[in-house]
Amino acid sequence: MTSSFGTSRCGRPGRRARRFAGALAAGLAASLIAAAPAGASAHVVAGSSFGGFLNDVTCLAAADCWAFGQNSAQRAVAEHWNGSTWTIVGVASPPGAVWTYLPSVSCVSATDCWAVGQYEKAARSLAYAEHWNGTAWSPVAVTVPSGSVVSLLISVACTSAASCWAVGAGLPSTFMERWNGHAWTAVLTPRLGSEANPERVSCVSGADCWVSGMHGNGSTGGTLIGHWTGKAWTAVTTPTSHVPADGLLGISCQVGACMTVGGRGNTHPLAQRWNGSAWAVTPAGTAAAVLYAVACVSPRDCLALGGTRAGNGQVFAERWSRSRWRVVPARSPRGALTSSLVGVACVSAADCWGTGSYVKGSAAHSLIEHWNGTAWSIVT
């Protein structure tokens, strides 16, 4: 299960776009390329950097954010922002786990967060979740479809303590997981199509959620948009549903509006917007880049992050404002061979965080950047 948007590693289902950062950590990523903006340099402030990568970030408030990824020892890593510094927080592993991987996180309160991913035990790769109760992260078992030999949770979105959805990938089929306040249960999604590969999920309420992704293996099937209305997941046709090689890798929704981002043939940015009644392509420029994640503070203000695709790729960012996308100069660490941002969260239009990784020498390092409404700065 691979595609042009992801790289398989450690035997895990490899179509995952955000795992591009993980591929960097393993030295497997295809080169991304483009020069950093003129004069760009690393401005490092208080933070906790580690060997590895960060996939996702979520924020409850300006002084309460969580980021998740994996270190070079192939263990899940969590970092917390308290308003002044990022600090690594311990994450408990399931008993007997050889490695752990948590690529997504979502919070409903300071004492109720979920991270989802995968771990290996006895040569089996199994989906699982971690819960934050305000004091510690603890592993929680999930129920995967019968017959699954490999399973992974790749994105999670929560709207209340009793309502979360997680995107699942596995062999032989993809699936969704639903949290009802007591347990995680697998939900098959036949109406999304037999070749559906959802990548990320965004929820407005317990009865209004969207997934973005691709059909087939990401090189032939076109983009995927799925909608949950409280009864079933259903595929929604968009202008790129049947365009070969297009994929939607990130999504951010509010009431009556959604923005999705991804890539056209894995070489140029792609964005689509839901206005409450129809999906339409919003031209995202012709730069040689792919967008991996998007966060919107309103239907008129979004930030999308990714990486350039020529030579040694570097961080790439665009902003949706005044009904159009504009490239926002972004920073890459000084001396980085490659770098990209694959997760984004915004508290306001002037307070956003991006997470990813960069390679310097032969090693990958976690990367966190901050947007203050005017410019990006490297934090760690």
Instruction: Find how far residue 163's CA is from the centre of its chain.
Output: 20
CA–CA dist 162, 183 (Å, integer): 9
How many other CB atoms sit within 10 Å of the CB of residue 310? 15
DSSP code of residue 169: E
Q: What is the pLDDT along the chain (380 residues), one digit of tens a residue?
A: 333 333 322 333 334 333 333 332 232 222 222 222 222 222 233 457 899 999 999 999 999 999 999 999 999 999 999 999 999 999 999 999 999 999 999 999 999 999 999 999 999 999 999 999 999 999 999 999 988 899 999 999 999 999 999 999 888 888 999 999 999 999 989 899 888 999 999 999 999 999 999 987 656 689 999 999 999 999 999 999 989 889 999 999 999 999 999 999 878 999 999 999 999 999 998 899 999 999 999 999 999 999 998 768 999 999 999 899 999 999 999 999 999 999 999 999 999 999 999 999 989 999 999 999 999 999 98
Q: How high is the pLDDT of residue 47? A: 55
Instruction: Answer yes or no: are the C-beta atoms of 106 and 158 closer than 8 Å.
Output: yes
17-378, superfamily in CATH? Answer: Fucose-specific lectin (2.120.10.70)
Q: How high is the pLDDT of residue 217? A: 64
Q: Are strands 99-109 and 163-171 parallel, antiparallel or unpaired?
A: unpaired
Structural tokens at position 106:
């979502």
Helix (H) or strand (E) holding 67: strand 64-71
Contacts of 94 (CB under 8 A, 6+ apart): 100, 119, 121, 128, 139, 141
CA–CA dist 143, 158 (Å, integer): 18
pTM for the model: 0.88
Q: How high is the pLDDT of residue 16? A: 39
Integer angstrom CA distances of residue 99 from 125, 274, 306, 365: 9, 38, 26, 18
Sole residue written with tokens 């399973």: 151
Domain ranges of the chain: 17-378
| Radius of gyration of the CA atoms of the chain, in A | 18
Q: Are strands 338-348 and 315-321 parallel, antiparallel or unpaired?
A: unpaired
Q: Is the dihedral of CA 187, 192, 195, 201 positive or negative?
A: negative
